[in-house]
Every structure is written in structure tokens, then in C-alpha cells.
Amino acid sequence: MSEFERRLREYLPRFQSVLATDIGDWVVKGFIDTRRNIYTISSDTKVISKLIELMLFPLFNQFAQQYDYSLHLAEHQNHYPDITFIAPDDTKIAVDLKSTYRVSAFRVSGFTLGAFTGYFRQRDSTKNISFPYQDYEQHFVLGIIYSRSVIDIDEGRIYRLTDLHDIQSVAHDFVFLLQEKWKLATDRPGSGNTKNIGSVNNIDALVNGNGVFASECKAIFDDYWMNYLTADMARIIDSAMPYTNLNEYWEWRNR
């Protein structure tokens, strides 16, 4: 374990205390205006994800100051990574914040772990990335797993500060994890049509870094995703898909 990873792992309980009450509920209840009216929020995953990021950024600043790292935030929403930590010797470390919700006691919806095209393949490129991919010593995911609350919110109601404890949190039971990106990856793209690397969705595997490539090594993860073609990508170059999973990859590589 690198010194950076050890240090950031020690901060995970602080992240937990910022997000959750003593009984595990999210401390966020809604939005407040200058008249002290409180408007409840929905369980929309994008809203929850963004608010979690905003709540944790001050702690990242504290972490950087404590250990003499420079902190560089992504300048655009679609740029990788969310945060770049730069050590005094100019070592760069990428940290992406990812949140996902439980779909059962043992599984979550999953993360997307960044593109497998663009800067991932052209590793000296500065397009959609804060610094060239090749400049980073390590690539981490700080993941947040939570459960969505089953609640019946009166969306037309405006609450007051005196009603604060009557508002049910839309999320609870947070679990934090910190792993290198390649240890969380699966051998399939993430959901949708975007060319993003998918993660495993078993909670224990995520927390312990036991993704599909964990029994291999980072070099195999890199080679797999640098050569991976979706059906559309293969069609453009008039080719067949070389492989769709790790077993097929080894057959392809051995040929």
C-alpha cells in the first residue's frame, strides 16, 4: 500500500462523519433559502452524487494541506479525474469520486470508471483530462455506497427550520471505499452507450478491491481496455470484436 493510500484511508471515518448522523442517515434534508424555507430533495442519483461531492471537497482540502499536496480540481464536469493530488516531488495521483446505491443487500448499481478511449489510449493527450494519463503514478476511486430511503415526501410542502427533524433523509447507511481503479474493474463497459469501463457490483468485491482483474495485474487491465472494441468501434474499422470478456482476451492475446 502506498503512503498516499494509507493516509487517505485514515481520512475515511472523517468523510463518514461529515455525511451521516449517528444513526446512519444522510445529514442533508433539503435546500434552504434566505427566508429559512426548506425544500426537500428527491432520491435522484445525480443530485445525491453532486451534493456528496460538495460536502467532501473541504475535507480533501484539509487532507492536502496536512500532507503538503497541491490540489487540482477538474476544470470541466467531463474531465478526468475529479481531483489531482500533486506531491512536493511532482508525483501526480488521480482520485475520482464515485457514488452508487444498493440494489440488494449484497449488490449495487455499480460505478463507471472513466473512458477506455481518448486519453486512456493516447496517454500523452491532454484532451478531457487534467494532466496526461501517463503522468499519474496511481489512479484511485473513492467510492460511496448508500441505500435509498423509501419515503413519501409531500413535494408541495415547504418546511421550516423547526420542522427539520420531521424531514426523512433520502439516503442512509453509507459505506466508503478506497481502491485503485483497476482493482474495481470488470471486463465489460459501464451502462449505456458511453465508452466507459464498468465496475463489479458486488459490495464485498468493491470494498476489498476484488474486481475481475484483481487476480491479474494493472498491466493486464491496461492492455485489455486499450485493445477493447465495442461492436460499433469494430464495425467502423470493418473488424470483428476481438473479445468480450477476460477469457476471450487471453485466447486473443495468446494467438
Order across the sheet with 37-40: list the strands. 30-32, 37-40, 159-160
Name the catalytic one among 25, 29, 92, 98: 98
**Is-catalytic flag, 195?**
no
Dihedral sign for Cα 110, 189, 74, 137, please. Answer: positive
Grid coordinates representing 128 are 478531457
Best CA proximity match to 176, nearest among 51, 1, 17: 17
Give CA separation, 68 vs 62, 104, 227, in Å: 10, 40, 37
Phi then psi for 216, rounded to 5 degrees? -100, -120
Pick the catalytic residue: 25, 82, 92, 195?
A: 82
Q: Any catalytic annotation for residue 46?
A: no
Annotated catalytic residue: which of 29, 92, 96, 187?
Answer: 96
Q: Is the peptide bond before 132 cis (omega within 30 degrees of 0)?
A: no
Catalytic annotation present for 82: yes
Catalytic center residues: 82, 96, 98
